[in-house]
Structure 1
Amino acid sequence: MSLLLGWTVSEAPLLCAVGQTILHIRGLRRLGPLGRAALWLLTPALWIFYAFMYREGRKAGGIAAGALSNEIPDHEGPVLSGVAPRRVAPYRPLPLLHRDYTTSDTRDIAYGPDPKFNRLDIWRRPDIPTSQHTPVLVQIHGGGWMIGDNKTQALPLLAAAAEAGWTCVVPRYRLSPRAPWPDHIIDVNSVIAWTKANIATFGGDASFVAITGGSAGGHLTSLAALASSHPDFKPGFEDADTSVQAAVPFYGAYDWTDRDGTQGPTLAEFIARWVVKRSKTEAPDVYERASPRSWIRPDAPPFFVLHGVIDSLLTVEQARAFVNELRATSTSPVVYAELPWAEHAFDLTQSVRTRGVIPPILSFLKTAYEATRD
C-alpha cells in the first residue's frame, strides 16, 4: 500500500490534484460548516504539495543529464547517426498508451523451449529497412522474479528508443515460484545468445547489444552484464557469446547477501521463500553468485544506474554501494542518477520524470555504441 500511494503521488501529482479538487467540490456540498472549514485548510495544502512533487519530477531530466555530462563530458545526442528524426511523438496523449513498434512477424517469437515464457517481441521503426542494421537494446521486465511480462513495462523508454533508431528485444522469462533460481538469469542469457545469432534478420546489429531493466529486471540486467561468462548461468550453451556492451539498470537489487546491512531482512526472506527456496544460511554460495556486486570487474561494460531516493522496496543505499564499488573497479564509464522523490517503478508511465530521464539514457547508449565504432 505504501508503494502504491508513494508511486501515485510522486509520478501522477497532477492527477492527484484533480482528484483532490473533485473531492473538495463534493465535500463542500455535503459537509457542515466545520467540515468545510477543515476542507479549505486541507485542499490548498495538498495542492501546494502536489505542485512541489511535480516540480521535483521535472528536475529528473536535468539530474540525469548532469550525471551523464559529469561522467562523459563529450557524450553523443539521443538519436542514432544515419537515422532521420521523424516529427512523430513515440507516445500517445494518454500516459499509459504508446505507439506500437511491433508487427505480427515480430511478436511472440520463440527463443527457448518454454511455450509460454520463452517468447520475445521486437520493437523497431517500420520505416527503417532491415538492411540498415541498428544497435540492439534488450529490455528485461521486473516483478519480483515472480510476476510481470514484456507487454507492460518500460514502454516509454522502448517507444523512444525505437523512434531513435534502436532495435529493441523485449522478452518474457520463466518466473518463480514455478521456476526456481537460476532459471531467470538462464533465460536472460538465452535471450542474449538468441539475439546475437538472429537479430540481423530483423535489422539489428549483433555486435552491439545493450541491456536494461527495472527492479528484478535491474538485478538481471546487472548480473547479465557482469557475469556473462559464468557457466552455471548458461547451461547447455556455455560457449555462446552472452556479453553485452552497455547496461542501464533501474532501481535494481544489487546484493542478495546484503553485506552492508542496508536492505534489511525482508528481501532475503522473500527470495528464500519464493525464488531460491533456500535461506541465505542454507545456500550462501547461491546468494553470493546471484549478487551483481559479487561480479564487479575491471572490464565491466559501461553502466548507467538510476535509483529513486524514496524507493520503498529496494533501498537507495544498496544502489550507492554498488555504484561506488563499480566505479572503484571498472575502467568503463559508470553514470549514476539518484532521483529525489522518485519511488520504485517510477518509469512505468509517461510521467514528467520518465520523459526527462529518457534522452540522457539514449545519449549514454549512443555514446557507448559510437565508442565501439572507433
Structure 2
Amino acid sequence: MSLEPSLTVLYKEANGSKITTDIYLPTTDSTEKKKYPVVINIHGGAFMLGHSRMVSMPQITDCLERGWIVLVPNHRLCPGVNLLEGPMQDIRDLLSWVHDGHLDAVLRYEGPYSADLGNVAAFGTSSGGTLALGLGFNVPKPVKAILSLYGAVHFTHPFWKTPLPHVQAKLPPNLEDSFLRKAYDEMPVPTDSSVSLEGQSESGASKGPNFSRPRDAFAFTQIASGNVLAAIYPNSKTKDPTFQAVDPVQNVGSEFPPTYIVHGLADTMVPIDLSRELFARLKREGVKCGMTEVPDEEHTFAAMMKVGSRTWWLQREGFDFLEGVIGKGTK
C-alpha cells in the first residue's frame, strides 16, 4: 500500500547522526486551525534494524481516518549506541520535541493543523512496542496512552538468553566475528537499515536479510544465539544487571499510562507469556489496560496482515483503545 508522509523533518542530531521523523497529516475540510491528537508510531527491528518507512501503512491510514497526526520516527540503531542512550533516548527526545512546540512550528506551514498536546499517544511493533512503552516512565511528561504490538519486555525472563534454532537455521555457516563486528564501526551511528526484522526491504517488498551486510548478519546472529540484550545493552553486564532502566515490566506503577497489548499466540520471537506478564503487572497496579491475543499469528504479523482479515480486526482493538483515551480529531 503506497502512502507518502506529508513531510519529513529533523528532530535531533547526535554525534553526526541526523535523526528524522516522517509526519502524516489527516485530511481536513476546515480552513480554521484545529488541534489534532498526535500518535507516535515506532518501527520494529530488534533495536538494530529497520527505519521509518518499514511500518504498516494500513495502520497509519487507520490512524489518519481517526483524525490523528501520525509521527513515524527514526532512531539510532544499536550496537553503535546502547538501548538506553540510543533508541530509547531518541524517542524520548522526540516526545520532548513535540511538547516543546517544535511540531507546531513545523505544522504552521502545512495548513490548519496544530498538535493537541494533551492527547499524545504512542504505539509500535516489536522493539518499537518497547520504545513506545518507554514513553510511559522516566520521562517529564508521559504519553497519554500506549499500544504495544508484541513488544519486547520482561528482560529478566530466561527466554532472553535462550538460543533460537529456527533463526540459526537461516544463517550462513562460518560467519567470522571480525565481519560481524563491522556493525560497530558504522559512523555516524546509522538511523536506518535496508531490511527490517519484519522482512520488509526499502521497496516495501517482503524480503529476507542480506547476510553479506555486516548489520544484517550481526543482528540475526545475536537473535539466534540468545544474545540480543547483551549486544544492545552492554550496561546490563555492569551498571544495570536487572535491566531496571529499560524494562517496561519493572517500571509499571499506578501512574503508568493506559496501555493495550496485542500479541500473536504463535509468536516464537517474543513469546506471548512475556506480554502476559506485562499485562498482569498493569492490572495489579490498577492501570487502565487491555490485551488481545491473536490466534495463529507469529511475530511481525502487522507487516503482512490483510485489511479486513480476522487479524486486522483483532489488532484494531488496540487502536480503538487508544481512541477511547485520546479521542478523534475533528475534520
The two structures have a TM-score, normalised by structure 1, of 0.63
1:1-374 counterparts in 2 under 5 A?
A: 97-100=1-4, 102-103=5-6, 106-107=7-8, 109-114=9-14, 116-127=17-28, 129=30, 131-182=33-84, 183-196=86-99, 197-201=101-105, 202=107, 203=113, 204-225=115-136, 227-229=137-139, 241-258=140-157, 261-266=158-163, 269-272=227-230, 274-277=231-234, 280-285=236-241, 287-330=243-286, 332-351=287-306, 352-357=309-314, 359-370=316-327
Q: What is the CA deviation profile of residues 235-274 of structure 1, one whole-angstrom value per residue up to 9, with x for unaligned ones? A: xxxxxx441000000101112222xx355534662221x2
Matches of 1:358 and 1:317, distance apart in 2 = 18
- Residue 180 of structure 1, CA deviation: 1.9
Could you tell me which runs of 5 or more consecutive residues in structure 1 were left unpaired when the two chains were aligned. Answer: 1-96, 230-240
| Deviates most, 194-203 or 152-161 | 194-203
Number of paired residues? 254
Identical residues among aligned pairs (%): 21
The residue type equivalent to 2:251 in the other structure is W
**Partner amino acid, structure 1, of 2:265:** V
The alpha-carbon deviation at position 337 of structure 1 amounts to: 0.5
How far does residue 223 in structure 1 lie from its aligned partner after superposition? Answer: 2.0
Counterpart position of 1:42: none
Quote the Cα distance in structure 1 between the aligned partners of 2:162 and 2:238: 15
Instruction: Letter of the 1:98 partner, please give it.
Output: S
1:116: how far off? 4.9
Q: Given that residues 160 and 229 in structure 2 are in contact (C-alpha distance below 8 angstroms), is that contact kept between their aligned partners in structure 1?
A: no
Q: Which one has the bigger strand percentage?
A: 2
* Aligned residues: CA RMSD: 2.2
| 1:221 partner amino acid | A
Q: Distance in 2 between matches of 1:297 and 1:338?
A: 23
Larger Rg: 1
Q: Secondary structure at the match of 1:208?
A: strand
Aligned residue type for 1:186: Q
The answer for the alignment partner of 1:3 in structure 2 is none
Which runs of 5 or more residues in structure 2 are unaligned?
A: 108-112, 164-222
User: Could you tell me which amino acid in structure 2 is paired with residue 205 of structure 1?
Assistant: D
Change (3 A) 1:353 1:179: farther
Helix, strand or coil for the counterpart of 1:133? Answer: strand
Contact 2:267 2:299 in 1 (8 A): yes
